[in-house]
Structures are given as structure tokens and as C-alpha cells.
Amino acid sequence: PLPAPRLAAAQMEDKRAHTWSVPISRFTSVTPNLIVRDVARSTAFYRDVLGFVVKQTVPDEGPFVFVWLERDGVPVFLNATHAVAEDYPDAASRPAGGTATMFFIVSEVDALHAAVAPHAPVVMPLKTQFYGMREFDVTDPDGHILTFAERVG
């Protein structure tokens, strides 16, 4: 640990680092925008295993290159690898899932675990973490890690 004067200086430096001048913008949301190998398979996982609802697709009839899903106001976008190739030319050569993870805050995590665990690869079993969250992790068909967590205690 840093001595008190050095800690205070480090905290001030950290505070200054976050006050740089940027255009006046307000962030209003963030949506996971996942690149997937098989849109139909990933759509089925998010819809049938996790309970998401399809809000929009491109095109209107399958096979889809884009699907917008939502559950309880939480959106997730799925994009076919070949459909994003113009904007992200190296997307097809990247490993599926890569290091992308999503952290969902939920209610009734034990009930969600009971419903989801039999249908998805569990990579971290349901447990209560030292930081006060009860959580478990699964992977989607492309290897994205999904954490579902509920504040406890």
C-alpha cells in the first residue's frame, strides 16, 4: 500500500486523468453487439434458453444477418460474421466469442440458474462471491461468457 501522502497524490492524479476535455456528450445506454457464426443458433439460445424476445430482424424473413433481442428492457444485438465484414474486415478471422463477456444483474438468480443450467454450458457454478453477489456463468454458442448476478446480504 502507498503511504498516505503518495496515496492522496495518486488519487488526485487519477481524478485529473478523468477530467479531460471531450465534446459535451451524454452516454444514454450500451448494447452488446455480438458477432456470431450462426445467427439462427444464437437467436435460439437467447430466445429459448434465456427468455429474450426478438424485437427486430434484418431482413424481415430468415435467414437473418441481424437480430435485436430484448428481455426486461435489456437489449442484445446479434450480427452474422459475413454481414459485418465490410465494417470489420478481420472479424471472420477472430476466434468466436474472443474475450467478450456480459454481466447481467438479475433478480432470482437461483431460479434463473435452475432454468438455464440444464441448457447451457456452465463455466462457473452458482456461488456467492466475496463482493456480495450471488452469480453463475454460462457460455453462449459462440463462447461469449454470460454472468448472471444478484446482490445478496
Express each pLDDT in 64-118 by its tens digit.
999 999 999 999 999 999 998 888 888 878 888 877 899 999 999 999 999 999 9
Whole-Å CA distances, 106 to 102, 112, 128: 12, 9, 14
Instruction: Output the pLDDT for position 13.
Output: 57
3-class DSSP string for the chain: CCCHHHHHHHHHHHHHHCCCCCCCCCCCCCCCEEEECCHHHHHHHHHHHCCCEEEEEECCCCCCCEEEEEECCEEEEEEEHHHHCCCCCCHHHCCCCCCCEEEEECCCHHHHHHHHHHHCCEEEEEEECCCCEEEEEEECCCCCEEEEEEECC
Express each pLDDT in 19-43 by its tens digit.
556 677 777 788 999 999 999 999 9
Instruction: Output the pLDDT for position 24.
Output: 77
Q: Which of 7-21, 42-56, 72-86 has the highest mean pLDDT?
A: 42-56
Instruction: Output the pLDDT for position 21.
Output: 62
Instruction: Output the pLDDT for position 23.
Output: 72
The yes-or-no verdict on residue 6 having pLDDT over 90 is no
27 versus 47: the higher-pLDDT residue is: 47
The yes-or-no verdict on residue 132 having pLDDT over 90 is yes
The yes-or-no verdict on residue 60 having pLDDT over 80 is yes
